[in-house]
Amino acid sequence: MTAPSDARRTGLTLVRLAALAACVAITVYIYSIRDQTRALAAYGLPGIFLLSLLSNATVILPAPGLALTFAFGGVMPPAAVALAAGAGAALGEMTGYLAGYSGQGIAARTKAYARLEAWTSRFGGFAIAALALIPNPFFDVAGATAGMLRMPVATFLFWTWFGKTLKMLAIAYAGAASVDWLDGLLR
């Protein structure tokens, strides 16, 4: 008969493996439908939200989220585009968080993780917001770090949303400015 702590460890291991498998499955699925993003864009702000969610739900593989935010910032109100894209991006980043939660022993030995762990431990949500604000394809590592550190989900989501929304706001306004610039150039 196993002790309660052994049963608990086994259950936790199964939950971690299931979360990791879900992250991999989501990434493979999103990568397989990447050519269908134009059809989703026709749905306006809900489409932007969904596209942003999907492009940020991929773990490591790139998806065209920022380019779409730039483009839609030129044809829709940039602040609304940023809010929709930022909310979708924050929810999409949960895959990185879950990957970290599930694979605590996997990335804990890397130098990048050690630096991010120290920074996230010291600055908490502010570190997550700063990393979400910077346009880079490696935010998944920050999400995984937050998951490994067991940062509360609500804290991770809030600070990710905050940073991603500010980034999307800058990108959407850049898209709007580019349309104005081209309009002036062509007149």
The full DSSP string for 56-118 is: HHSSSS---HHHHHHHHHTTS-HHHHHHHHHHHHHHHTHHHHHHHHH-TTTSTTSHHHHHHHH
pLDDT in tens, 36-91: 545 555 678 898 898 888 888 776 555 667 777 887 887 788 999 999 999 999 99
Domain count, the chain: 1
What would the mean pLDDT of 98-111 be, rounded to a whole number?
68
Between 170 and 12, the higher pLDDT residue = 170
> Which pLDDT score is estimated for 30?
46
Which of 7 and 171 is assigned the larger pLDDT? 171
The parent domain of residue 176 ranges over 4-186
Predicted structure pTM score: 0.72
CA 101 to chain centre: 15
What is the pLDDT at residue 158? Answer: 96
Per-residue pLDDT band for 168 (boundaries 50, 70, 90) equals very high
The token duo for 3 is 């002790």
pLDDT of residue 84: 95
Angle (CA) 31-176-81 rounded to 5° is 50
